[in-house]
Amino acid sequence: MCNVEDQDLLPPSKAKNASRTCIKCKEVAQIVLRADNCYCRSCFIAYFTHKFRATIGKSKLIRSNEKVLLAFSGGPRSSAMLYLVHEGLSENIHKKLRFLPGVVFIDDGAILQLSENERRNYLEFIRTTVSKTGFPLFCESLGKIFPTNQDTNIQSNLLSSDLSNTTRSDATSSSNFDLDTLIKRFKNDELKIVQVFEKLPNSTAKEDMLHILRKKLIQQIAEANGYTKVMFADCGTRLAVKILSDIAQGRGSSVAHDVTFADERNQAVTLVRPMREFLTKEVANYLTLKSIDYRTRLSLTTMKPVKSSIERLTENFVTDLQASFPSTVNTICRTGDKLSVGDTSKIDADAICPLCDSRIDTNNSLEGKTTSKTTSKICQNTADSCCGEGDGSCNRIARINLTAKEIEDRLCYGCRLIFHSNNWEMDDLPQFLIDAIEKQLRRKRLKEEIEEFLLD
């Protein structure tokens, strides 16, 4: 996993100086976050739990009995989030959480080149951990973003997570069978995505693509299963890295959405970040104090040089700076907070990048290739009439052939960089992207057709 976590995930710092006292109760401090910010064990846990619930509560965004999906990777941050949500729902306390959670895990083992055994062990850990909460668990391979057989429906595996009534041996034997079947199906779905990632030009593009596709798939699973919110466990340290690496990769227009508490760009599913007020160090202390089990997640740049990707380099920069200047992360995040998200409902749908959902605010063209690649795989229907909506909803649209130029023109600057190599084919694009571009083009053509009949 990332440097930030590896360095910070040490046992809670014992007070180097016994005279340090808890800033709340004046007992001897056990947790030293900063020289002037020390806590005893119970005050730290109370502070951490309160901050988490307050972040959710003050937004007033999540309604009672609303279905909320927790994006769970098994890593430190999402393990802490899962524990906090479970605890917040089960206690009969003031400010109890009142939503209905589910958990989603996206297996990207094929991209990270994990062995079958490693993937099975990891899935087993995910299932065991989630089963303790009793929340439903959705498990899907990242490869599902490229549907096979034109099947665009997300038929996620709903792994039964409530194993509390089965004996241990029963649970183990049934889980082995299920997981083997699951991994086999995952592998069938992953042929395309492995090919696509091999073609991407560098680690920066691969990391960028991985984040985008994972987010899209989680949104699709949420929407298909009636979840209206998805919780991501990005903490302040992670968001500080995201702000700087977004800017370095030409994604300045999406910074505000990428770091705000609620990203409402997708109208069906809102992304929320209830861990955004925490530093990695605080999360590490909480995990240790509560003895929460987690796994260290591998990334595409694990064991690679610091300069292997922009994100990795930025992470290193922020971590080093934070070690010497403890306000670094806060300063970067507060600066990010000053950027306004604006009214997302007023953004012209044609000015949205169909891959990453960010606003295309400039005409920043790359020296792109204008090859004559075309695709005709989109519309299976041969009828040539439309109900008039013009957005493809009736499925009675004449076939549209997209060119590489048309596709590139619709992407934002950051996403064009991902595909800025000459070796990709139309087949390498995920179906949701083709669908979205087609929809935009149909709307544009319809507008042009009726333009002369419109009053000024």
**Residue ranges that bind Zn ion, judged by CB under 5 A:** 22, 24-25, 27, 40, 43, 353, 355-356, 412, 415
Compare residues 131 and 219 and give the one whose CB is closer to Zn ion: 219
CA distance 145 to 189: 9
DSSP 14-37: PPSSTT-B-TTT-SB--EEEETTE
Considering beta carbons, is residue 127 or 439 the nearer one to Zn ion?
439
Closest approach of Zn ion to the CB of residue 26, in Å: 7
Count CA within 13 A, CB hemisphere, residue 147. Answer: 17
- CA pair distance 30, 25, nearest whole angstrom: 12
Chain-centroid distance, C-alpha 143: 15
Token pair for 61? 């965004």
Task: Report residue 70 as tokens.
Answer: 């927790």
* Min dist. Cβ of residue 180 to Zn ion (A): 37
User: Cβ of residue 101: shortest distance to Zn ion, in angstroms?
Assistant: 30
Q: In the complex, what is the shortest distance from the CB of residue 28 to Zn ion, in angstroms, rounded to a whole number?
A: 9
Quickly list H helices, 99-254.
116-131, 168-189, 191-199, 203-224, 236-248
For 433, the token pair is 């992207």
Query: Residue 415 is encoded by which pair of tokens?
Result: 């996403």
Name the residue type at position 268.
Answer: A
Q: State which residue, 183 or 248, has the beta carbon closest to Zn ion.
A: 248
Task: Between 132 and 211, name the residue whose CB sits nearer to Zn ion.
Answer: 211
Q: Are 217 and 151 in contact (CB under 8 A)?
A: no
Provide, rounded to whole angstroms, the least separation between the CB of residue 259 and Zn ion: 16
Smallest separation (angstroms) from Zn ion to the CB of 368: 14
Which of 209/241 has CB closer to Zn ion? Answer: 209
Residue number with CB closer to Zn ion (179 or 411)? 411
Residue whose tokens read 């466990």:
233
* Both tokens assigned to 383: 């009828």
Nearest approach, Cβ of 407 to Zn ion (angstroms)?
12
How many angstroms separate the CA atoms of 272 and 263, rounded? 6
Nearer of residues 34 and 98 to Zn ion, judged by Cβ: 34
